[in-house]
Amino acid sequence: MDYRKTNAAITTITRNKADFEKKTGNIYETVMICAKRANQISVEIKQELNQKLEEFASYTDNLEEVFENREQIEISKFYERLPKPSLIALKEFEEDKIYYRKPEQEISKDESL
């Protein structure tokens, strides 16, 4: 997913707990689903940022030299301005874009066969 084009809020907003509880029947389950998705998003964004910054890496033996590249700074600032992974995950959950399943229900379905 392209997180640059997400319409998630940049700041935290108040949400109705009942809306989140309604979809799963359990608010704690909803929190865990969103938390796991936020972790996935965080890893994806970090990998993408590291790949972009890797282009600017200079491998020199001199530890005293620090090179500041304007493009590298702009890329870092751009990623800092993105919505937090938890806010992106909450937006995806609200829009039913997160696929989740309950393994315990699948086991009980298999046992009934």
- pLDDT digits over 43-56, tens only? 999 999 999 888 87
Kindly state the tokens that stand for 90. 């909450």
The model's pTM: 0.77
Q: Any idea of the CA torsion for 4, 8, 13, 18, to the nearest 10 degrees? A: -150
> Cα 67 to chain center, whole Å?
30
Cβ(85)–Cβ(38) below 8 Å? yes
Looking at residue 85, its pLDDT comes to 93
Non-local (6+) Cβ contacts of 106 within 8 A are: none
Kindly state the average pLDDT of the residues 16-31.
90
